[in-house]
A and B are shown apart, each in its own frame.
Chain A
Amino acid sequence: MYKAVVMGMSAGGMHALQTILPALPRSFPLPIAIVQHLSPHYDSYLAEYLDRISSISVKEAEDKEPLQRGTVYLAPPNYHLLVEPDQTFSLSVDARVNYCCPSIDVLFESASDVFEEALIGVVLTGANADGSCGLKIIKARGGLTIVQNPATAESPYMPRAALDAASADYVVDIGSIAPLFRRLSQPQSRREHGCSVNC
């Protein structure tokens, strides 16, 4: 049974979020943490807007806030978003990683430390290679990896870099991601993939 989803995207990510989040039910049983690269001066209205158009609850992640099922958390602009061992978020203003703050790798690596094989990592459209190191770590620890099909991604560079770095369990078009999430969040879903002998 998976315990959390982490997603990363940059260029084209706005459209991707508008496609995925409204297609998720309010009762979606996992927390979803998202790093979407934004201009440093972008304000926090993105979360409010996405919350309005989705039935699942969407908010900006706060420091020391517990991860709750059925909630989508966005990294605030200019802060790295990390997951702590007690399954709360923390923020940092450490140096940029891959020229980015927030960085997808920072979220993915810290979430993988905590959730290990119970984590789903997703890399979507984008114009740089952030996220590929993090996805590789998620895969190495037995987590599930999903990459948007570069051929149909608005900006193919990020998903292509992720596929070069880590093998993906699923490579899918944007419209298939929400249905896949719904299927994977069913209690029996881990058996299908047989990704470790523990399953």
Chain B
Amino acid sequence: MMHMPSPVHEAEKMEIDRLLTGIRDRYGYDFTHYSWASLKRRIDRVCDHMHAASYTALLDKLFYDDRLFDEFLKHMSITVTEMFRDPPVYLAIREKIVPLLKTFPFVKIWHAGCATGEEAYSMAILLHEEGFLGRARLYATDFNKHSLDKAGEGIYPAKNSELFAANYHAAGGKGNFSDYYSASYERVKFKDYLKEHITFSYHNLVTDGVFGEMNLICCRNVLIYFDKILQNRVLTQLAESLRHGGFLCLGNKETLNFTAVKELFEPVDPRQRIYKKSGASHV
């Protein structure tokens, strides 16, 4: 045989790299330091969806078509989420973090990578039950404008209500979950007094900068999509966006071990991946 195949089909990898740098240069969205394997799966799905025969053909289609690129972005962001996803995390926030936040006259909480907003509404409900929502401002950000629109509406399919109610109770919910929304047809809409305390806004963790002086940052199941270089860059940015003594909550399988910011934090609840910023203020 003339040709020795090389790992990961080198040519294919080069072609995807060209697609990603083309997108970065043209639109400013930088996917070059994403975890490769799941990125490739998503790009392959977009190619099918947009009838692009190759990654080069996909770049050709996207390059001069803003609307198609918008469609592409929808596929690239992960929107899988739930109300009170991983209930023990919310229980830990309720029991261990909220009492500490209550010592402040006013707190700022950032949901970085909020997708369609379910976790931000969950936090608002939790703070409401703790009598603390009036002294809190929640910032929920994402790079997917389509998801942010949905988050701002606060309307979700009713079919998930049973799962969400079970999560709510497992998370230490004190009332009836159904008190927090009005149901009509196939949908539920969360009450306006929850939304009033949430600011939904566009922010790209990869390309945008530090975001305010937060008391708590929830960035769950976002870092797993990044390679180690980008993980460290984003974690540094999150650390700089936290007040001294502020808290960082990661996804259940994400950790600060072996990262550039490990020394800046001490674990509060290692199992639920909640950390407190304690080290020097500069990285």
Using a CB–CB cutoff of 8 Å, the interface residues on chain A facing chain B are 62-64, 76, 79-80, 82-85, 90-95, 106, 109-110, 113-117, 197-198
Contact = CB atoms under 8 A, between A and B. Distances in A.
11 contacts: A63-B253, A63-B254, A82-B37, A82-B38, A83-B37, A85-B37, A91-B253, A92-B224, A114-B7, A116-B5, A198-B4
Contacts of B1: 197-198
B7 A93 contact: no
A106 B37 CA distance: 9
A85 B12 CA distance: 12
A82 B35 contact: yes
Contact of A90 (B13, B37, B80, B252): B37
Given A64-B258, A90-B38, A110-B38, 14 more contacts: A63-B253, A76-B253, A82-B35, A82-B37, A82-B41, A84-B35, A84-B37, A94-B42, A94-B78, A95-B80, A109-B41, A110-B40, A113-B40, A198-B4
Given A63-B224, A93-B80, A93-B224, A84 B254 contact: no
Contacts of B231: 64
B189 interface: no
B253 A113 contact: no
A84 B224 contact: no
Interface residues of B, number: 29
A116 B253 contact: no
Nearest to A113: B8
A82 B35 CA distance: 10
B36 interface: yes
B228 interface: yes
Contact of A91 (B5, B7, B224, B228): B224
A53 B72 CA distance: 47
B132 interface: no
A106 B42 CA distance: 11
Contacts of B5: 116-117
A76 B228 CA distance: 20
Contacts of A117: 5
B105 to A, nearest CB: 36
Contacts of A93: 78, 80, 221, 224, 251
A60 to B, nearest CB: 8
B181 interface: no
A117 B13 CA distance: 18
B80 A113 contact: no
Contacts of A83: 37
A197 B251 CA distance: 46
B177 to A, nearest CB: 18
B78 A90 contact: no
B69 interface: no
